[in-house]
Structure 1
């Protein structure tokens, strides 16, 4: 299975110090080896050191052109990497387990945009790696933009040093309002019952405490889920650099983000930070069969809105 993969250049890639972002792997036409799922999984197992090194160097790897068509195919690919699975207990995005380690991506309506974030940045144990798989590609829009965390940190720190210093000192408090029942019409629509897999409030509190979450019960039967203060600017040891590890663009009727002292974030600076994310991001249109492997400690991701059918599946690793 040597040289089964070939690195491909595609439109919209960026280059930082001559390193492509993201990197893209396709079947090597010179090997004449089929691009079936079984051959792909075998190649992943035999070339794991190369793939790990590439992911560490670039932060994101797209596998494009392989014969991956179903959730079962995707699960086999995820399993081939051998990464330990991470439970989605405590996460607020509406998701459904499809098969094995495979879940739907956020099930909120596809015409709703999702801002840049590290997956489960508001948890004590965020996943180290994420997989996304495109089962149905939208005809327009619906991309999953990605951006390098250290790049946006450097730009924001240079432009707003006092803001970044305060974030480093205080961290952020994330408050999410959970309904009593699921509401899939919005991005954070899971109920507390769904988030903690129980209908018993005492059991929900116990499970929340184990995850470092505080719950405050609301009069309407819902709950306020509070995490933090959590660090925003973190030092990523394996690459020896500071990274931006937060979501500051999510304030709204179901979510509130504040400094560690409870004071509100400056809206004007947050808006400018969002512009920096957009300037530095890469949003490659999905193709059916694409698999996106993201290092969650190096890259933030988002979701562009679309009005056409779109189905993307996900899997999380410790």
Structure 2
């Protein structure tokens, strides 16, 4: 396989070989490294732009699903932003993200501002985004009312998730109307306001999303188990909230996922999914300046893979 003069395939120990029906010698991720160790960031960015414009990056993602770029030497978020924009893809817009993130540069943010004592279980990035009719899974997301700058919780407040158009002097009715307009941009999503009081006039927000568990890749047609069912299940398992009333030790509602009709998914199905994920995962070893490009086609549009 050849790419261009600057980036070349390179050995990478965490890569996992993919079985049939994938072609022989197909690994996830594919690893590329600059052929010259002193290559400038500007030269690497120009090469990425050329490879993306030619369709070569897209072909590699179709085959491997992920590309690990070694030895790029990207020193900061601004350089990473320039590298990410070189692919030419339309940036994703966050609507109703359940986790709190900090923006560091154009279209670059931290993954999650939760404490490092909290585990991050296997999940698909934006697997909670509502698209595509198929087999349904149902998620419940809870957003407490609170300030835009709250940092005491890994989750987002109502205003952080949906309040980007709410002004400080908006009355309750106007604020709710703007928030509900944002939620309405997400197909298959419903909501209800809870816990309104004199000291919580806006109220807390519970959001319900019914999403497909299996999604087909729009280019290859391959089915993908693309969702956040496993992470929600493992979170509930660790908190002992698998069964009703799904309340943790602090009285917070922390359910697993449900079928679209609201019934619980049998635990043995989710146990099997967890087992398969751990059997087939590739444990990427992060190093400063490296980039992992994941094909996220199954969740968004045909030109929106995510760089992370």
Q: TM-score, normalized by length of structure 1?
A: 0.74
User: Out of 81, 92, 101, which is 2:87 matched to?
Assistant: 81
Conserved in 1, the CA contact under 8 Å of 2:99 and 2:112?
Answer: yes
SS of the aligned residue for 1:115 comes to coil
Q: Which has the larger radius of gyration?
A: 2
Deviation, 1:255, is 5.1
Residue equivalent to 1:13: 15
Q: What is the alpha-carbon distance in structure 1 between the residues aligned to residue 72 and residue 216 of structure 2? A: 35
Partner of 1:280: 280
Which of 178, 184, 204 is the equivalent residue of 1:203? 178
* 2:214 aligns with one of 233, 236, 241: 233
What CA distance in whole angstroms lies between the structure 1 residues aligned with 2:73 and 2:112? 24
**Aligned 1:154-169 pairs, distance under 5 A:** none
**CA RMSD, 1 decimal:** 2.5
> What per-residue deviation string (whole Å, max 9, x for no partner) do you get for residues 145-171 of structure 1?
xxxxxxxxxxxxxxxxxxxxxx96x41
Q: Give secondary structure in 2 for the equivalent of 1:39.
A: helix
Q: How far apart in 2 are the matches of 1:52 and 1:206?
A: 34
Partners of 1:38 and 1:180 in 2: CA distance: 44
Question: Do residues 217 (structure 1) and 193 (structure 2) align?
Answer: yes
Q: For the residues of structure 1 that align with 2:218 and 2:90, how far apart are their CA atoms?
A: 20
Give secondary structure in 1 for the equivalent of 2:101: coil
Q: CA deviation at 1:47?
A: 2.1
In structure 2, distance between residues paired with 1:268 and 1:119: 24
Question: CA distance change for structure 1 residues 178 and 257 in 2, over 3 Å: closer, same or farther?
Answer: same
**Structure 1 spans left out of the alignment, 5+ residues:** 127-166, 300-314
Shift of 1:237: 3.5
Normalised by the length of structure 2, the TM-score is 0.76
Quick one: higher RCO (CA 8 Å, sep 6+), 1 or 2?
A: 1
1:54-102 per-position Cα deviation (integer Å, ceiling 9, x unaligned): 1221010111101201000000001111100111122111112111111
Superposition map of 1:97-246 within 5 A: 97-124=103-130, 170-181=135-146, 184=151, 186-187=153-154, 189-198=155-164, 199=166, 200-212=175-187, 213-219=189-195, 221-228=203-210, 230-246=211-227
The 8 Å contact of residues 98 and 156 in structure 2, kept in 1 or not, is answered as: yes
Equivalents in 2 of 1:73, 1:216: separation in Å? 42
SS of the aligned residue for 1:117 comes to: coil
Match of 2:171 in 1: none
How far apart are 1:125 and its partner, in Å?
5.2
Point out the structure with the larger strand share: 1
Contact 2:294 / 2:306 at 8 angstroms: preserved in 1?
no
Q: Are 1:37 and 1:68, in contact at CA under 8 Å, matched by a contact in 2?
A: yes
Task: Name which of structure 1's ranges 231-240 and 202-211 shifts more when overlaid on structure 2.
Answer: 231-240
Residue of structure 2 equivalent to 1:269: 269
Instruction: State the shift of 1:39 in Å.
Output: 0.9
Q: Which residue of 2 aligns with 1:142?
A: none
Q: CA deviation at 1:218?
A: 1.2
Task: Tell me, in whole angstroms, the C-alpha distance in 1 between the residues paired with 2:48 and 2:111.
Answer: 23
